[in-house]
Structure 1
Amino acid sequence: MKRIIKLVGIIVAFAALIAITNPQAVQAAPSGYRVKVLNTIYSDDLPENAYHANLNSKAYIWSSKRYPFDKQKDFQRRLYKVSKLKGVTLFVQKTARVYHNRKSAIYYYVADKSNGYQGWVRPSALIKGFSPYGYQIIKEKWGHQSATFHAKNAKQNVGIWNWRHTKKRANLKNYPGANLYRLATVTMMHHQKQSTYYYVHLTPDGNSSKIISGYVSASQVEAGHNTNYPEIDYTSIDQFTDSADYNSYIQKGKKQKLAREIVKLFPNSPVDLGLSKIAAYDYDTFNNTSDGDPNPISKQGYTDIKQFPSIQKWLYAHEKASNATKLAGIKQLLDKEGYSASKRASMSGYKLGIQIVNNIKGYEDESRDATRWNGYVFILARPDGSS
């Protein structure tokens, strides 16, 4: 008798092991349906798995158990009538054989791009290919897409759209200082015509914590940061193309009044972008990493660097003071250090490196909470080869 019990125990254990290790084991649904997954599709090839609704079909998309603790069960209820899904492209993720009332049939598990529509459906209710209605994303490229863009014409209506191209999330005409940061490039099809779109994050005025995400037509934007500086609070020093561009920002920027006054104190020492980056990264803390660590860059190309740490310390201690108070303090400290007006005017062989972020509304890197940005630094140096 003991041998029989032992044998039965071995058989039960063996059966349990098979059930655990078999990925295609039949799963019973509480509705009386049993689902045996035959194939799971992991391909990112959109055309390969794209289907759209047969609008003449009377079929439904049925509910599915989407994750282990999902209260929704396979074939628990009907979710969507297929004939109502005009303009929706569905992607096959699984193929399964479904058993019910001693009959079986093949079903597809499908979902649209945002998983707004998903569930089990009969293959006969679908037609191979993207939906011919509305806008359809038929190709997308993520990774190595980082780039900055802005509207070609700030006065033209340029929409930032949701992925279905049915809701305009923003109009660039209303954000003349906006920069667009690309995350992906996609191909959209509309009326059988293909167009390139970018998936972007829009920052309204260069530094706002508010980000608007969506798709914009590539034909309506151009590469590079927005140079409509009178409308921009802040532009990262790494965005500028050359010294002329950076000087234009200082001269026209909405929040660069103090910087303009400091530049006037050195009338014969032109602003230099390369030296300004050295000032920002090597002699100030504003451009430190998100962990607060310094992020120095090479000083190659410049000699005889003159810095003003006492002035910098004073500015940080008086960051809430008016521009007039700050400028008066700078002049007084320059005189104290031997840089009188005549001395400064004589420094024609020097370049000026400067970055002034003067009490500008910004945000915390991680939390995105509103804060105030402050960064004060300027230095002088001779370019290599100058006498």
Structure 2
Amino acid sequence: MRLRGFGAARRVLGKGPFRTYTTGNFISLVGTWMQRISVGYLTWELTHSTVWLGLMALADLCPTLIIGPFAGVMADRWSKYRLLISTQALGLLQASLLALFHQIGMLEVILLFSITLILGVINALAQPARLALISSMVSRDLLASAVAVNAISFNLARFLGPAGAGLLIATAGITWSFIANALSYGVMILSLLAMPRETRDTPAPTTRKFGHDLAEGLLYVFRDRATAAVMAVLVVTGICSRPLIEMLPAFSGAVFHGGGPALAALTSSIGIGAVLGGSWISSRQKPGSMTRAMLVTSLIAALGVIAFTAVDTLYLALPVIVCIGFCWVSTSICSQTLLQLGAPDAMRGRVLALYGLIIKAAPAIGAVLAGTLADYFGLRSTVAAGAVIVTLHMIVQLRFAHVISDGLEPKPADG
């Protein structure tokens, strides 16, 4: 796979369906993050309860865990394009209802939870189609750049969305934050409608049962050694090192004694590192191994987490956390690219559905484990121990890197 400087990124964002899709997707992501922050703010205003804050986060996560694999089958059996149009229209409807109910004073916490749960279902249904559609818009040699651009968009939206929500809440009221999200869904729908017909996939009809396709996808992931190895990397890093993000409030208070400003600096630094990591992947000039890049960046991230737990000063922690963010997003982009390239066309939705499930579920599971163990063994020791496990796993994976590269990376004649 050859990526020649930023020329690859420029080519993938040149005139064509991917640029149209990326524009709409980015605006939609900004709106999604605006709503997430607004829902959290409103939940606190209504209840002043950390339990309800946790339940709102659960409403966003649980649908992916339950529906994710089924959504992957839907993305393979049905048109991904039409599935995205439908889910974006439903997203526009739920955001509009939030704005309406809040404006007329009917939005109590139970109703807010219910609509948030509905949005979680919508996002779970859309995610596999959203990821799998990328490969139909770009050539194989530009796929890594397309995935990297997608990751950069996500991380930029993660900062612009909360900032926009805060501005609207402070100046116009929280209703306008929900309205802005509804409008962002409208922009995404328009961008999808503007895409050329040749990018609108039309899967061949199938007479196989839904359960058969679901089982087939799961068996493929577990039986294909290369795919299973990539998934193992994501599971181990997700459970053992990524919970550092959830532990950052504890580090900012108990270790760096900086409270809110320290937390803001740490989370911003992760985002900066993520944008830099996405830019690096999209601008790689030498033909290199996606497999080795995935494993090495995961190893460096684990070592970075160990170093982070050893420092006492915020100013020393910030460059470390930038490095960690850089490596985490690089690992994520490389792994998704490998899965996109290696999965058969008829199986891609199911493979990426499991990828999305792991990306969401593994850090959540790890956060619960880390939070529980930290009460007994201490915050630093717990987080460092998880990173040591990742380090050992990556060393073993590097010894057998050829299993992944031979199975998923394109041969020189194909690239």
TM range (shorter): under 0.3
Q: Which structure would you say has the larger Rg?
A: 1
TM-score after normalising by structure 1: 0.24
TM-score after normalising by structure 2: 0.23
Flag the structure with higher helix content: 2
